[in-house]
Amino acid sequence: MSRARAAARLRVPLVSLLAALVAASAVLLGAGSAQAAGYRYWSFWEGNGKNWEYATQGPSVLRPDDGTVQGFRFAVSEDSGDADQPRRAPDFGAICADTPAEDGKKRVALVIDPGTTTDAPDGEKPPALRTACAQVAPDASSAEALAAVAKPLRYDDSAMLCAISGYPKTGCGEQVSGDSGSAKPSEPAKTTDDQDQGEEGNGGGGPSVGLLVGIGAVLLLGIAAVVQARRRR
């Protein structure tokens, strides 16, 4: 058999093998993307005068000064880096314009944004975004300011804020699958700070180590098959 004819016979299985490798890699990578997930929860924000900044302390710990603006946004997000901000500017003057100052109390402007239907749990409809001016004791926490204007509040055993004004009716920081948007019965709810640290430790939504190992194994099998085919020439 001539070298040209042998090369032609070898080329067909090689092309088929490479096509199979590409398809397998795409399936593996696609599986990794489909498994990307977020968490459905109320995120907590602080206004800096013009923009929103993700709060570094929880509402039960933070004790805002008089004249500050706090925001709460319900949405699905993977971590604080991609969390949706409240959809209203942190404007203390506009929010507390009709609430005159009183001696012995402080005013805290609040933006409460239940988010959109896309992020709502199945069977629930988010209420309208609203603002409120809480007038509370000088040493009151952000959670106490929220409770003054947005009861009922619901918390879980780890003190994570689960519901504001009764929304949502159920659930608390549950994991939501990235492909369907449906909630998974997953790990226990976490506080906002613990959740952020855990997600950063997982490396976000990139491919897992197991996924990369699987792709490497497929490629190694392909290389071995090519070498074996050449030995039989």
Cα 70 to Cα 42, 154, 201: the distances in Å are: 13, 18, 28
Would you list the DSSP string of 58-74? Answer: -TTT--PPTTEEEEEEE
Q: Residue 196: what pLDDT?
A: 41
Q: Residue 80: what pLDDT?
A: 82
Q: Residue 31: what pLDDT?
A: 43
Q: Residue 203: what pLDDT?
A: 40
Instruction: Evaluate whether 102 touches 79 at the Cβ level (below 8 Å).
Output: no
Task: Write out pLDDT tens, residues 13-32.
Answer: 544 544 444 454 444 444 44
Return the number of other C-beta atoms located less than 10 Å from residue 15's C-beta.
10
Instruction: Evaluate whether 71 touches 47 at the Cβ level (below 8 Å).
Output: yes
Return the number of other C-beta atoms located less than 10 Å from residue 118's C-beta.
9
Report, as ranges of residue numbers, the positions in the chain whose pLDDT lies below 50. Answer: 6-8, 10-12, 14-15, 17-22, 24-35, 180-181, 184-213, 217-218, 220-221, 226-227
Q: Residue 233: what pLDDT?
A: 54
Residues in the chain: 233
Q: Residue 182: what pLDDT?
A: 52
Instruction: Evaluate whether 174 touches 186 at the Cβ level (below 8 Å).
Output: yes
